[in-house]
Amino acid sequence: MPDTARSGRYSVFAIAREALRQHKGWNRAWASPEPRDRYKVIVVGAGGHGLATAYYLGKNFGITDVAVLDKGWLGGGNTGRNTTIIRSNYLQDPSAAIYDKALKLYEGLSQDLNYNVMFSPRGLIMLAQTEHEVRGYKRTVYANNLQGVSTEWIDAQRLKELVPIINIDGPRYPVLGGLYQERGGTARHDAVAWGYARACSDMGMHIIQNCEVTGVETEGGQVRAVNTSKGRIGCEKLAMVVAGHSSQLAEMAGFRLPIESVALQALVSEPIKPCMDVVVMANTVHGYLSQSDKGEMVIGGGTDHFNNFTQRGSWHHVEETVRALVETFPMIGRLKMLRQWGGIVDMTGDRSPILSTTPVGGVFVNCGWGTGGFKAIPGSGWAMAELVAKGRPGPLAADFGLDRFREGRFIDESVAAGVAH
């Protein structure tokens, strides 16, 4: 495999051309080079956030002397394990800004990357099933309107029209209404990672898989290199974008993070005919549901409540989640479940992410997206690229620094992030 190979532009003409020659002319979507001795920027973690960081470093700042290292395969972390809910109806202003930036970028991402990420703005509803939730979501609607994020409060009747399979008179928690974001939806998780990876590779960046970072070399408080399973690689700047493994990377560089890693799991049913064309989240009973393009019902719930790196999840959470959802969607009681899996998510105390400089010069962290960072990938990459390129945060990242934990300036999203998604 050559050091840099262009993937070639995807288009209807390319398909026609390849159809005529038995599809033998397609190039690999990205190159798999051996690492060079050094790069200007090393990004650790080829999940969505790491790849998007690299992409916007090239696109917005012209920095292409970049390597993205991953200990496994690209997109094999949480990016390839999540339930792909995309929305921007958060409560606090800094969150609304970065999540809505991400949503806007998602809206044009397939064109921008020349790669179909299957973004599907099918609409998203968060059910209000207690009076408390009704008040909470109305408050969020008001906040969103002030932030310029379009969301609305809908009553139970309208909700039933949008989601015919829902049982609004549930036995424990009747549906009282919902917070509706019409622009919300889903995208294909792998395609987001693959699309960014291809675009990065096309810019000449190196994406190096099966390359585990095992140490961070510093000199005079400044980063010099990383040690990896493929040897020492020098760098001027280092971006740590490794989600559930952030504490381990930070420890290599000699600092601690306000992060705890826990397992979050999801499951999917056998595929069925289209029955629900919106995403529905039920935060009180702790479950959420959407239907994939293949027809599977995609289901998620809560996290394990203890530090955990097992990428498995546990049976009783499946039981709890399914029990909750069957109450609200009685028809899914008849479905067989096909697969279940887990990912290790990085939780912060205020349920908001960290985009920050660190005690080590040239080292930057992007983590803490916890149970809900897929939706943020483009906005996070955009903001992180600016942070890495300039060495200080721009407006989108400014409030998400590590110093907020010392200063008590939390961005409390524990309500908006009520259920893991």
Ligand X SMILES: Cc1cc2nc3c(=O)[nH]c(=O)nc-3n(C[C@H](O)[C@H](O)[C@H](O)COP(=O)(O)OP(=O)(O)OC[C@H]3O[C@@H](n4cnc5c(N)ncnc54)[C@H](O)[C@@H]3O)c2cc1C
What is the rounded CA–CA span in Å between residue 216 and residue 338?
Answer: 41
User: Which of ligand X, other proteins, none has residue 360 at its interface (CB below 5 to 8 Å by kind)?
Assistant: none
Nearer to ligand X, 78 or 352 (CB): 78
- Restricted to residues 238-297, the positions that interact with ligand X (CB under 6 A) are 241-243, 245, 264-266
243 binds, among ligand X, other proteins, none (CB under 5 to 8 A by kind): ligand X
Cα 255 from Cα 362, distance rounded (Å): 14
What gap in Å lies between CA 127 and CA 72, rounded to an integer? 37
Contact 53, 385 (CB under 8 A): yes
* Residue among 24, 273, 294, 305 that touches other proteins (CB under 8 A): 305
DSSP 60-118: HH----EEEE-SS-TT-SGGGTS--EE----SSHHHHHHHHHHHHHHHTHHHHHTS---
212 binds ligand X (CB under 6 A): yes
Q: How many residues bind other proteins (CB under 8 A)?
A: 22
Stretch that binds other proteins, among 146-154, 197-205, 225-233, 310-318 (CB under 8 A): 310-318
Indicate the residue among 85 and 97 with the shorter CB distance to ligand X: 85
Q: Interface with ligand X by CB under 6 A: which range of 72-80, 109-117, 131-139, 144-152?
A: 72-80
Which residue in the set 46, 241, 259, 367 belongs to the binding site for other proteins (CB under 8 A)?
A: 259
Determine the Cα–Cα distance for residues 34 and 143; give it in Å rounded to an integer: 49
Name which position in 161, 169, 219, 407 contacts other proteins (CB under 8 A): 407
Non-local (6+) Cβ contacts of 116 within 8 A are 110, 188, 191, 195
Q: Which does 265 bind (CB under 5 to 8 A by kind): ligand X, other proteins, none?
A: ligand X
Query: Phi and psi for 260 in degrees, rounded to 5?
Result: -130, 135
Q: Binds 76, which of other proteins, ligand X, none (CB < 5 to 8 A, cut-off by type)? A: ligand X
Among 29, 314, 318, 341, interactor with other proteins by CB under 8 A: 314
Write phi, then psi, for 162 (nearest 5 degrees): -75, -30
Least distance between other proteins and beta carbon 78 (Å):
16
Torsion region of 303: left, alpha or beta (phi above 0 gives left; psi -120 to 50 gives alpha) = beta
- Cα separation, 398 vs 355, in Å, equals 8
Among 47, 170, 178, 302, binds ligand X (CB under 6 A): 47
| Upper half-sphere CA count for residue 392 (Cβ side, 13 Å) | 1
| Residues in touch with ligand X (CB under 6 A) | 44-50, 69-72, 76-79, 81-85, 212-213, 241-243, 245, 264-266, 300, 343, 345, 369, 371-375, 421
